[in-house]
Amino acid sequence: MKILDRYILGKYFKTFLFVVFLLAVIILAVDYTEKSDDFIKNNLSFGQVMSDYYVYVIIHWLSTLSPISVFIAVVFFTANLAQHTEIVAMLNGGMSYRRLIQPYLIGSVLLALLTFVNVGWLVPKAAEKKVEFEKEYIKSKYYFSDRDIHLRVSDSSYLYMESYNNNINRGYRFTLETIDSLQLKEKITSDRIEWDSTKQMWHVKKYTTYSFEGEDMTISKGKDLDLDLNVKPKYFQSRYKLEETLTIPELNDFIASEKARGVAKLGKYSNAIQERYAYPFAMIILTILGVVISSRKTRGGSGLLIAVGFLLAFAYILMVIMSRSFADAGSLSPVVAAWMPNVICSAITAALYYNVPK
């Protein structure tokens, strides 16, 4: 690695850390102002809020916004290099434009690898603490409000509840059907089903069993019945920002278990996985885009280029938010939603690269 490479890499990482610090201060100030009433209402001290909440908030947001941070950093210091004619001197000295980008590429790959580990495994652990705090002190108490709940609890068994009270772990108008070869074999009904925390099983009182054998039906009644079903009370608890608190392997397991229960709307969780794979590539793409935009000297000075960089950064954030909303609603494939901003930025980067003066 030559002196010039070390020089650019040094500025790359130093400016990135500066932008990260700046964003951390902005996030903390804005978020604290917005939620200060909740902190006061719950008698939380400033130190407690900082140690129990904002440490994890900053970790979560800075890793999530790392592609934007690196883009702003690249535009900022490269525009300054261009205005001081340092880039012109490099190119006039015989360096090719492709060679100029090389240290940027090295830096972006290193940050991309670090970002992938962070958003895939480390950040979800911080998000877990953040979400727990928000549910305890900021969000209203959660009540499970879904009606007419249908769940597949085994290969041949299907559960139905008209409603469920998550505060006492009790379901109402319960039915459990066993189906074999498209034929109903058994049906258990009861007015209620509740969780037995001692036995770690579901308990049914005053139930009726309908057994079917060909055209014949047998009806029997009972007082108490324990059921070991592939669904636990945790399933009916709050899923507020659950996708943020799960690592990539945990998200894959969660999606598989939900599909096994017959749940169809999982776009939010699938999109969360795809975004974590897309973030590292966004670091590389946005780094190159930042170089292409800011490496030429303009009459407007570096301030104009930095303003353009901020504008494009917010445009990228807008694309991510919009595509995520479409994925959550099920109107767009999670893969397309997560990768579309990267594809668009790649196309813009390629067009600008081939037209930039070299």
pLDDT at position 355: 84
> b/e string for 294-321 if b means 16 or more Cβ within 10 A?
bbebeeeebeebbebbeebbeebeebbe
Average pLDDT of the segment spanning 252-276: 91
Stretch among 77-91, 153-167, 229-243, 297-311 having the lowest mean pLDDT: 297-311
Which two three-digit tokens encode residue 332?
């767009």
Task: Using the structure block, give the residue that is written with the tokens 């009861």.
Answer: 190
Amino acid (one-letter) located at 55? V
| Residue positions counted in the chain | 358
pLDDT classification of 1: cutoffs 50, 70, 90: low
For residue 243, pLDDT beyond 70: yes
Q: What are residue 218's DSSP bridge partners?
A: 211
Measured on CA atoms in the order 168, 171, 173, 174, is the torsion positive or negative? Answer: negative
pLDDT at position 300: 65
pLDDT in tens, 314-336: 888 889 989 988 888 888 899 99
Q: What percentage of the chain reaches a pLDDT higher than 90?
A: 71
pLDDT at position 314: 83
Q: What percentage of the chain reaches a pLDDT higher than 70?
A: 98
pLDDT at position 103: 95
How much is the pTM? 0.89
Q: Rounded CA gap, 140 and 142, in Å?
A: 6
Q: What are residue 165's DSSP bridge partners?
A: 170
Which two three-digit tokens encode residue 311?
């504008």
pLDDT classification of 122: cutoffs 50, 70, 90: very high
For residue 78, pLDDT beyond 80: yes
pLDDT in tens, 143-153: 999 999 999 99
> SS3 string of the chain?
CCHHHHHHHHHHHHHHHHHHHHHHHHHHHHHHHHHHHHHHHCCCCHHHHHHHHHHHHHHHHHHHCHHHHHHHHHHHHHHHHHHCCHHHHHHHCCCCHHHHHHHHHHHHHHHHHHHHHHHHHHHHHHHHHHHHHHHHHHCCCCCCCCCCEEEECCCCEEEEECEEECCCCEEEEEEEEEEECCEEEEEEEEEEEEEECCCCEEEEEEEEEEEEECCEEEEEEEEEEEECCCCCHHHHCCCCCHHHHCCHHHHHHHHHHHHHCCCCCCHHHHHHHHHHHHHHHHHHHHHHHHHHHHCCCCCCCHHHHHHHHHHHHHHHHHHHHHHHHHHHHCCCCHHHHHHHHHHHHHHHHHHHHCCCCC
Q: Nearest 5 degrees, angle CA 348-CA 8-CA 281?
A: 40
For residue 80, pLDDT beyond 70: yes
pLDDT in tens, 5-16: 999 999 999 999
| 338 burial via Cβ count (<10 Å: 0-12, 13-18, 19+) | buried
Q: Where along the chain do its domains lie?
A: 3-140+266-353, 149-235
pLDDT at position 115: 94
pLDDT at position 343: 95
pLDDT at position 255: 94
Cβ atoms of 204 and 227 closer than 8 Å: yes
Cβ atoms of 163 and 140 closer than 8 Å: no
Average pLDDT of the segment spanning 93-115: 93
For residue 301, pLDDT beyond 70: no
